[in-house]
Amino acid sequence: MRQSSVQLAILDVLAGEGDSHLSALEIYERLKARLPAIAPSTVYRALERLTQQGLVSVSDMGKGVTLYERVGQPLHHHLVCTGCGQVLTIDHSQVGPFFAAIENTYAFRLQTNHLILFGLCRACQAQSSTPLPPEA
């Protein structure tokens, strides 16, 4: 099978319904349903190339595995709750000015296209709002 057709199939899987952030294993399993002869190494190689080409983002979203997602336009970013695992999506318009300021100040060309910020969502903040111990 041609490497380029595997890459297209991966982009197709990542554009599919449901969770758009998939691990390499999940991508492999979904591809295998369509292309039973495919080898895991072929999938990993194709993912590496797609990442290098900037078509797929690689993120640690706190789940202990690397997650892949198709990079769309406009870009988007996430807030990940470390309490309940909820993932919120942030529009690039909120991050864009920050990225531009960094690039100007440090003459640094950012390659991050999928920013993951960890924290606590509103519900988890309410749950963990036990009063601080009094100061000694």
Q: Does 83 bind Zn ion (CB under 5 A)?
A: yes
Q: Does 61 bind Zn ion (CB under 5 A)?
A: no
Contact indicator for 49, 3 with CB cutoff of 8 Å: yes
Choose which of 8, 15, 39, 84 interacts with Zn ion (CB under 5 A): 84
Q: Does 24 bind Zn ion (CB under 5 A)?
A: no
Q: Return the number of other C-beta atoms located less than 10 Å from residue 47's C-beta.
A: 21
Residue 82 CB, nearest distance to Zn ion (Å)? Answer: 8
Q: In the stretch 88-127, what mask flags binding to Zn ion with x, by CB under 5 A?
A: ---------------------------------x--x---
- Mapped onto helix, strand or coil, the DSSP state of residue 32 is helix
The burial class, CB within 10 Å (0-12 / 13-18 / 19+), for 102 is middle
